[in-house]
């Protein structure tokens, strides 16, 4: 079963074609990693998937339904949630308030204006569970602007999880993290239930090779290669264009 699919997706900024004819299908429950050099169009592709950008051509299908014209809000409501490369939170709220609000927005109880927020017990219970899931229980009552960078990254993922999505898009979840925080994030991502389809943009090859069922390599906005980690490791094209000849223990003298 295919959860999310793009067909001949194109996007240009002026004369710069950032996404060129990208056709990909994402199977339900699988883990995908999108890699590629800087400027390969990874984040643009993500923004097209999440609805932050409109494609110039091509279509996006979610469970077979055409969602190309839906905006960010509507895509979140059908079940595509994303985290952001840079922390994109509610800084004045506590961790619990951030999560409870996200749960209320998803559950449709956020428009209630005649009862206090604290009476939304299910949203708060869910918030506490999410915090436990990502390891933020100890800082539940802390305002987000006082949180460490790593904890903010964890909350970034937790907010996306609060949408109870079918497809989860994580944009560089470990960027800027310390090695310790990175390993915690690895565990967190590995623990995401298999009912969700997860697509990650990531630079850390250790994480990518460890986590992904399939890896997609973008280069100049095109799909350069896709396959299992082993296939990508073995791919001549990828090695030449992206990983470099010395990467991944490869030492053979291959002259072009």
Partner 1 sequence: MASRAFVRRSIGLALIVGAVVAQSFAGFFTQELIAEAAILAIFALSLDLLATCGLISFGHAGLLGIGCYVFAGLTVLAGGSPNLAFPVAIVSGGAVAFMVGLFAVRTTGAFFIMVTLAVAEMLYAWGFRSKMFNGADGMGGIPRIDLTAVGIDLNNPGTFALTVIVVCAVIWLLLELVVASPFGRTLAAIRQNPSRVAALGGHVYFYRLAAFTASGMVAALAGAFKVQHINFISPDLVSWFVSGDVLIAVVIGGIGTLVGGPLGATLLVLLKETLSSNLGHWYLFLGMIFAFVALLMPKGIVGYLLDLNDRLAARKRPSECRQTERAT
Length reported for the chain: 256
Considering only residues 122 to 151 of the shown chain, the ones binding partner 1 according to CB under 8 A are 123
Residue 52's SS3 state is: coil
Q: Which is nearer to partner 1, 145 or 254 (CB)?
A: 145
Q: Which is nearer to partner 1, 121 or 246 (CB)?
A: 121
Considering only residues 86 to 105 of the shown chain, the ones binding partner 1 according to CB under 8 A are 88-93, 97, 101-102, 104-105
CB of 144 to partner 1, least distance (A): 9
Rounded to whole angstroms, how far apart are CA atoms 238 and 231?
Answer: 10
Considering only residues 58 to 87 of the shown chain, the ones binding partner 1 according to CB under 8 A are 71-73, 76-77, 81-82, 84
CB of 113 to partner 1, least distance (A): 4
H-run or E-run covering 16: strand 16-27
Using an 8 Å Cβ cutoff, are 187 and 211 in contact? Answer: no
Considering only residues 162 to 201 of the shown chain, the ones binding partner 1 according to CB under 8 A are 162-163
CB of 15 to partner 1, least distance (A): 27
CB of 176 to partner 1, least distance (A): 19
Crossing angle for the helix pair 121-134 and 95-107, to the nearest 10 degrees: 120
- The torsion angles phi and psi of 115, rounded to 5 degrees, stand at -130, 150
Rounded to whole angstroms, how far apart are CA atoms 35 and 39?
Answer: 11
Assigned token pair, 175:
């960027």
Positions in the binding site for partner 1 (CB under 8 A): 50, 71-73, 76-77, 81-82, 84, 88-93, 97, 101-102, 104-106, 109-118, 120, 123, 159, 162-163
């Amino acid at each position: 079963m295919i959860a999310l699919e793009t067909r001949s997706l194109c996007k240009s900024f002026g004369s710069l074609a950032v996404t060129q004819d990208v056709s990909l299908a994402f199977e339900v429950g699988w883990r995908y990693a999108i890699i590629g050099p800087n400027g390969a169009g990874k984040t643009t592709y993500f923004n097209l998937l999440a609805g932050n950008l409109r494609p110039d051509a091509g279509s996006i299908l979610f469970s077979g339904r055409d969602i190309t014209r839906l905006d960010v809000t509507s895509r979140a409501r059908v079940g595509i949630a994303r985290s952001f490369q840079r922390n994109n939170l509610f800084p004045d709220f506590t961790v619990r308030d951030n999560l409870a609000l996200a749960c209320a927005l998803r559950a449709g109880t956020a428009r209630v204006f005649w009862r206090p927020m604290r009476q939304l017990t299910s949203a708060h219970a869910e918030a506490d569970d999410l915090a436990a899931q990502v390891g933020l229980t100890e800082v539940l009552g802390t305002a987000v602007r006082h949180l460490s960078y790593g904890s903010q990254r964890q909350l970034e993922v937790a907010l996306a999880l609060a949408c109870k999505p079918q497809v989860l898009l994580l944009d560089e979840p470990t960027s800027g993290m310390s090695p310790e925080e990175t390993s915690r994030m690895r565990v967190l991502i590995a623990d995401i239930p298999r009912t969700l389809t997860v697509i990650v943009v990531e630079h850390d090859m250790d994480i990518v090779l460890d986590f992904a069922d399939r890896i997609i390599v973008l280069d100049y906005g095109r799909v350069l290669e896709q396959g299992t980690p082993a296939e990508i490791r073995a791919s001549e094209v990828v090695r030449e264009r992206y990983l470099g000849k010395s990467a991944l223990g490869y030492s053979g003298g291959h002259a072009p």
